Amino acid sequence: MMLQQAEQMRESPQNLPEVQISFLYSEMKRLLNAYCFYADFPKGLPVEFKYRLLREKWDEEVVYTGEGMNYCEFCDHEPSRCPFPEGFCGCRDFDFTDDIDMDDFDDSNEMPF
């Protein structure tokens, strides 16, 4: 049974009915949570996106520490690489135009405060 489920997790979401996607995502999440790993998805993101993104990250190596909470993040806050659909991630709301001119800072060892 476990092997069959593992093989189904390899299926592309386009080849699976919605109920199966929901089931597989739920089981993947339960397995991760059992080892204190938690997927960090935006609120309201459809389960098809969650399943696809989690599947893409599934084979990445991670370190199991045996304690604490470990989060799996999917957005690196670079809008051009954001994996989430428009309106689900706040990275597109950031203003990355930097008004600070680094030439205005001197190289002295004095603290600015």
Q: What is the pLDDT of residue 14?
A: 76
Average pLDDT value over all residues in the chain: 81
Which amino acid does the sequence have at 82? Answer: C
Please check whether residue 27 is in contact with residue 19, taking contact to mean a CB–CB distance below 8 angstroms: no
For the chain, give every domain's residue range: 2-96
Q: What residues contact 78, with CB distance under 8 A and at least 6 apart?
A: 91
37, 70 Cβ separation under 8 angstroms: yes
Give residue-wise pLDDT tens across range 66-96.
888 988 899 988 888 999 998 898 887 776 5
Residue 2 confidence (pLDDT): 47
- Residue 3 pLDDT more than 50? no
Per the model's pLDDT, the better-predicted residue between 84 and 110 turns out to be 84
Please report, for residues 3, 49, 60, 94, the alpha-carbon distance to residue 22 in angstroms, rounded to integers and kept in the order given: 18, 11, 22, 32
pTM higher than the cut 0.85: no
